[in-house]
Structure 1
Amino acid sequence: MKVSRLARRAAIAVALTALSLGGCATFPQPRPAETARVWMTSGDRTRLLSEQPSLVFRTGTAAGAPVLVVDAGQQHQSMVGFGAAITDASAWLIQARLTPAGREALIRELFGREDGGLGFSFTRVTIGASDFSLDHYSLADTANPELSDFSTARMEEYVFPTVRQALAVNPDLKVMASPWSAPGWMKTTGSMIQGQLKPEYYGTYANYLTRYVRSAADHGVPTDYLSIQNEPDFEPDSYPGMRWSPPGRAEFIGRHLGPMFRSAGIQTRILDWDHNWDHPEQPLGVLADPVANAHVAGVAWHCYGGDVAAQSEVRDVHPDKDVFFTECSGGNWAADFSDSFSWTMKTLIIGSTDHWARGVLMWNLALDENHGPHAGGCGDCRGVVTIDSHTGTIARNQEYYAFGHASRFVRPGARRITSIEPEGLQGVAFVNPDGERVLIVLNDAAAPVSFRIREGGQSALATLPARTAATYVWRR
C-alpha cells in the first residue's frame, strides 16, 4: 500500500518535534566498548609493572581461545591490603641513610598511589627486637613485675616516625605488631634468646603488651592487629625468640590478654600462630579452647614450611576467623629474578588470597647492600627494596614488582571474587569498593598463552608472554 505524501510529511513533523524536545533518547545509541588497562612484569625484566595496550571487551563469546571467567556475583573475603614489615633495620635505613627528600620520595612510592606508587596499605612492626634490629632489647629490660622501666623509646627513634610518615601518605594503612620474645627475666632461660614464658608472668606479659598498644597509640601509631608471639614453634639460637605451645597460648589469650584488652576498651584484634603452613594443628588447638576462641580474631601464617592450602584447612573449621599472611622473605637462596618473581606471584599474591588471606605481607620493607643491618638470624635475606647504606641509591627487587601487581590496584575494602582460570594460567580477581574489577594472572610457562577474559556476556582477547604476570583493570 502506498503512503500518501501528506502522511509522510506528518510522520517527519512528529519525528522533528521529538528531537526538538530531547526525544533523541528514543533512538538507542550503541554502548561504548569497555576496555581493560593492562600492566605486565616479565621474568626477563623487559617489562617491570609496565603498562601495555588496553584490551577491548566485545559482546559475545568468540571461540578459538581458552576462557578465563570472572564472576563478580560471587564475592568472598574483604581485603585489608598488601605490604611489608617496617622492621628496626628498615626504619633505621629509611631514617638514617636517606636524605629528607629521598625519605619522602621512597615512602610516597611505597605507600602512596599517585604517580605509580605501590599503595601499600598493610605493614608490621616488631615489639622490641627481632633479628633485624641493631641489637637485642625489650621494652622493659629490668626485672620488675610492675614494669616500672617500661618504655617504647627505642621504637620512637626510627620505627614510629617511619610508620607515621607512611600513615600521612596513606591514612588507610593498617598496622600489625608482633613480639619476638618477652623480656628475658620473664622466661625460663633468663634471656630473650630461646626459652619459654613462665606461667607466673602471664599477667605481667599481658600488661606489657597492653602498655605497648597504648604507648604506640600515644605516639600516633595504631595497632590494628597483634599476634602474641612470632613463630611460637621455634627457638632461634642467635636472636630473640620464644617457644609457646597451643595450650599456653590459649591460656594467655583467653584468661589474660583478651580480658585485659576488653576491660581497657582496646579494639586491637588478636591473631594466633604467626608461623608456618606446616602445622595447622597448632592454631586449631588454640581455637578449640572456647575461652580463647572468643578473643581470637584470626590466624596469621608464614611461608617457610608447608603449603598455602593450610590456610583454607583451618578456615574451613573456623569460617568466622580472619586469615592473614604475615611473613615471607626473599634472599640469596632465591636470587634468580624470574624464578622468585613467579613463586611470589603464584604462592603469595595469588595463592594466599585464594586461600582467604585478607592481608599479605613480605618481611623487611628495606635492607642494605649487605642484607642488613641484623643482629643474628638471616644473613642473606632480601628486602622489598635495597637501600645502599653509603649512597642512598634504591634498588627495587622482584618482590617489589610482584606485590605491586596487587597493592597498586586492589584497594582496601575490595572483595575477592570468583575467577576460573584455564589450564596453564593461575589467577585471582577482586572487585574494588567503587565496582572496578582487578584481575591478576600469571603465565609461568615457557611459551606465551592467548586467552579470553569473560565477564557476563562480554569477553576480551588477551595474550600473556612466557614467564609473565599481568594485572587487568576494568569497570562494568
Structure 2
Amino acid sequence: MRRKIVALWLCLVLTVLVVGCTRVEPDPTEAKVAVDPGVKHQEIGGFGGALAFYENWVTGSQEKEKIYDLLFVDLGLDILRLRNVYDYPVDDPDPMRHGVEFYHAAKTRNPGIKVLLSSWSPPDYLKKDGIMRGGTLKKDGGAFMYPKYAEYWRASLVAYADREVVPDYISIQNEPDFVTDGWETCRFDAQESSAYPGYGKALKEVADLLDAEYPDPPLIIGPECAGISGGRVQSYAKEMDLSQVHALAYHLYNGGDQDNPDSYLSNLRAIASAYPNVRIWQTEFDWPTPFKNAWLIHNCLVEGNVSAYFYWALVWPGEKGLVEISNPWQSAYYSPTDYFYYFQHYAKHIDSGYRRVGAVSDSGKIKVSAFLSPNGEKLTLVLINTGGARCEVTLGISGFPVNKTEIYRTTDGTQEKFAAVGSLGSGNMLVLNPRSVATVVVTAGPEQDEEGD
C-alpha cells in the first residue's frame, strides 16, 4: 500500500506542475490528495489574535465569561496578543487592568496558552514632541534615547509581573514603518537617520538589557512591519541581529490584494526564501472576506513558511472581529462572526508543536495542508475548495495508520459553519462544497497489513 501512495504522491506533484503552467483550470468535481507525514516542513508556533482596543467593552460586558469561553476554549487559540499600555497617559487610572484580566481569563481556561505583549508606542515622555499618536522616539543630547527605551520595556515587564502577568513573547514596536494620528504609533526606520531611530539599534538595546537582567527573558518577535511589499521586511531584517529574535514578524496590509489571496505569493515566497532557517510569524491582518482569509492563511503556511498566524481582532464592533460585540452599556449582544469559524478550521485542531508535513492536490483549486502532532498520533488536514463546483476528494495517506476520522466543514454563504459532518467515506473520500473549507482530524490506530504491499 505504501508503494501505491508514494506513486500517487509523485503523480500528483507532476500534475500540479503541469496544471500550474495553464492559464485557466475548470472547477473540479473530483480530486485526489496525497499526504506524506514523512515529508517534514516548519514546526507550528500556533494561531493567535489580539485583544487590543475596545478592551473596556469586553471587560464591561455582562457576557464576558461566555466571550472568554468562545476565545480560550472553543476557538482553540494558542497565542493571545495584548497591548502594552504600561505608563500610558490616559484618563483611565489603571489602563493595564484590561490586559491583566484577559491574561488571567485565558490562563484559567487554558494554562498552556502563550501571550505576546506588543507596544503600539512608548509613553509620551519618550516621544518627540510628547505625542502618543504618530511621532517617533525622543532624542537626548542629540542621540536617540535607546537606553531609556530599553528601561521602559524592563519597567513594563516588572509592572506586569507584579500583577502576575508574564508574557512569553514581546514585540518592542508594532508597525515601526507606519505612522498615523488616528492611534498610538512610533516610527522606527530600518536604519537610523538624523530624523528617525533605527529599529535594529532599539532591538539590540532592549534585548541586551533583558538578557543581562533575566535568566529567562521573554522571547522577542519583530519587526511587525505593516506589510511585505517592496522588500521592507528584508530591509529591516538586514539591520537586525536575528539571533536576538525568536521570529521574524510582519503584517499583510500591503504586498498583495485583499481580494486575491494568491497575489501575496511572490512576496511571501521571497521572504521565506531569504530566511529559510528563521521562524516567520504573521501577527496581524483582517482585510479579506472570511473565506478568502482562510485561503490566505493557507498561502502563508504553505508558500510563506509561516509558523504562526494571527488574526487581528478577537473581539470588535461590527463583523470584522472573530467575535462581534455591542457597546456593553447599551446592549449585552455578542456573537461569533463568520471569521471565527474559518479561523477555527486552523486553530482548533492544530496546536503549537505540530509540524506541517507533505500534502499535495492534483487540482490547483483544491488547496490542502497537513499537520502532524508531536507524538505522531494525530494528523490534521485543512482542505479548501476555491472553485464553484461540488468536489469529491479522495485522500491517500502514506505511512500513517488511519483509525478514527472526523470532518468539520464550513461552506461560504450558508449556515454550515464548522459543522461536524461525519467521517471519511469509503476509500477515504470526503465532499467539498463549492467555496468551502474542511478540517479532517485523523487519529492513528494499529497498522494493518494489506495484500499487495
Band the TM-score falls in, shorter-chain normalisation: 0.7 to 0.9
**CA offsets 1:99-122 (integer angstroms, 9 cap, x no match):** xxx32232122211xxxx111111
Report percent identity of matched pairs. Answer: 22
Give 1:318 deviation, angstroms: 2.5
2:337 pairs, out of 373, 397, 413, with 397
Is 1:69 aligned to residue 10 of structure 2? Answer: no
The answer on 1:385 being equivalent to 2:323 is yes
- Which amino acid in structure 2 is aligned with residue 227 of structure 1? S
* Equivalent pair of 2:225/2:233 in contact (CA under 8 Å): no
1:262 aligns with one of 211, 215, 230: 211
Q: Which residue of structure 2 aligns with residue 306 of structure 1? A: 255
The answer as to 2:159 corresponding to 1:209 is no
Number of matched pairs: 365
Counterpart position of 1:353: 301
2:395 match = 453
In 2, Cα distance between equivalents of 1:232 and 1:466: 40
SS in 1 for 2:40: strand
Partner of 1:166: 106
Deviation at 1:471, TM superposition (A): 0.4
For 1:155 and 1:216, how far apart are their aligned partners in 2? 12
Over 3 Å counting, the alpha-carbon distance change for 1:250 and 1:94 in structure 2 is same
Distance 1:451 1:399, change over 3 A: same
Corresponding residue of 2:349:
409
Counterpart in the other structure of 2:414: none
Q: Distance in 2 between matches of 1:272 and 1:153?
A: 30
Is residue 178–residue 226 contact of structure 2 (8 Å, CA) maintained in 1? no
Stretches (4+) displaced over 6 A: none
Cα distance in 2 for partners of 1:88, 1:65 equals 45
Q: Secondary structure at the match of 1:417?
A: strand
2:382 maps to a residue whose letter is: I
Partner Cα separation in structure 1 for residue 383 and residue 49 of structure 2: 22
Conservation of the 8 A alpha-carbon contact between 1:88 and 1:158:
no
How far the C-alpha of 1:387 sits from its partner, in A, is: 1.8
Distance 1:362 1:154, change over 3 A: farther
Letter aligned with residue 73 of structure 1? G
Quote the offset at 1:277 in angstroms: 3.5
- What is the alpha-carbon distance in structure 1 between the residues aligned to residue 200 and residue 309 of structure 2? 25
Query: How far apart are the structure 2 equivalents of 1:383 and 1:445?
Result: 26
Structure with greater Cα Rg: 1
The question of whether the paired residues in 2 share the 8 Å contact of 1:250 and 1:286 is answered with yes
Matches within 5 A, 1:327-338: 327-330=284-287
Whole-angstrom distance in 2 between the partners of 1:264 and 1:207: 11
The question of whether the paired residues in 1 share the 8 Å contact of 2:89 and 2:123 is answered with yes
Deviation of 1:173 after TM superposition, in Å, equals 1.0
Question: d(CA) in 1 for partners of 2:126 and 2:160?
Answer: 22
Counterpart Cα distance in 1 of 2:76 and 2:230: 31
**Counterpart-to-counterpart distance in 1, 2:398 and 2:226:** 39
The CA distance in 1 between the partners of 2:230 and 2:358, in whole Å, is 25
Query: Which residue in the other structure is 1:139 paired with?
Result: 87
SS in 2 for 1:66: strand
1:394/1:180 CA distance change after superposition, 3 Å: same
Match of 2:226 among 273, 276, 279: 276
Q: What is the CA deviation profile of residues 214-237 of structure 1, one whole-angstrom value per residue up to 9, with x for unaligned ones?
A: 322332222222222111111112
Q: How many Å apart are 1:125 and its aligned residue? A: 0.8
**Aligned 1:144-293 pairs, distance under 5 A:** 154-198=94-138, 199-247=143-191, 248-254=198-204, 256-265=205-214, 266-279=216-229, 281-289=231-239, 292-293=241-242
The normalised TM-score by structure 2 is: 0.75
Residue 75 (structure 2) aligns with: 118
- How far did 1:82 drift? 1.4
- 1:14 is matched with none
CA deviation profile, 1:183-235 (whole Å, cap 9, x unmatched) = 23322332112222134311101111122123223322222222221111111
1:436 is displaced (CA, Å) by: 0.5
Deviations 1:229-279 (A, max 9, x none): 11111111221112211120111112x111101101242111222123434
- Please give the root-mean-square deviation of Cα atoms over the aligned residues, in Å: 2.3
- List runs of 5+ in structure 2 lacking aligned partners: 1-28, 192-197, 257-263, 403-426, 445-453
Task: Give the secondary-structure state (helix, strand or coil) at the position aligned to 1:189.
Answer: helix
Structure 1 residue runs of 5 or longer lacking an equivalent are 1-63, 129-137, 143-151, 335-339, 372-380
CA apart distance, 1:393: 2.3
Kindly indicate whether the alpha-carbon contact (under 8 Å) linking 1:442 and 1:470 is maintained by their aligned counterparts in 2.
yes
Asked if residue 473 in structure 1 is aligned to residue 445 in structure 2, the reply is no
Offset at 1:460?
1.1
Q: Tell me the SS of whatever aligns to 1:446.
A: coil
CA distance in 1, matches of 2:244, 2:230: 19
Q: Secondary structure at the match of 1:109?
A: helix
1:78 and 1:284 map into 2 onto residues whose CA distance is: 22
Query: Deviation of residue 157 (structure 1)?
Result: 2.1
**Cα distance 1:391–1:237, how it changes in 2: closer, same or farther (>3 A)?**
closer
Matched with 1:341 is 290
SS in 1 for 2:428: strand
Kindly tell me: are residues 197 and 321 of structure 1, through their superposed partners in 2, closer, same or farther at Cα, counting changes over 3 Å? same
Is the partner of 2:144 in helix, strand or coil? helix
The CA distance in 1 between the partners of 2:165 and 2:428, in whole Å, is 44
Q: Residue 56 of structure 2 aligns to which amino acid in structure 1?
A: W
User: Contact conserved, 2:228 with 2:252, CA < 8 A, in 1?
Assistant: no
Residues 228 and 250, structure 2, Cα contact 8 Å, conserved in 1 = no
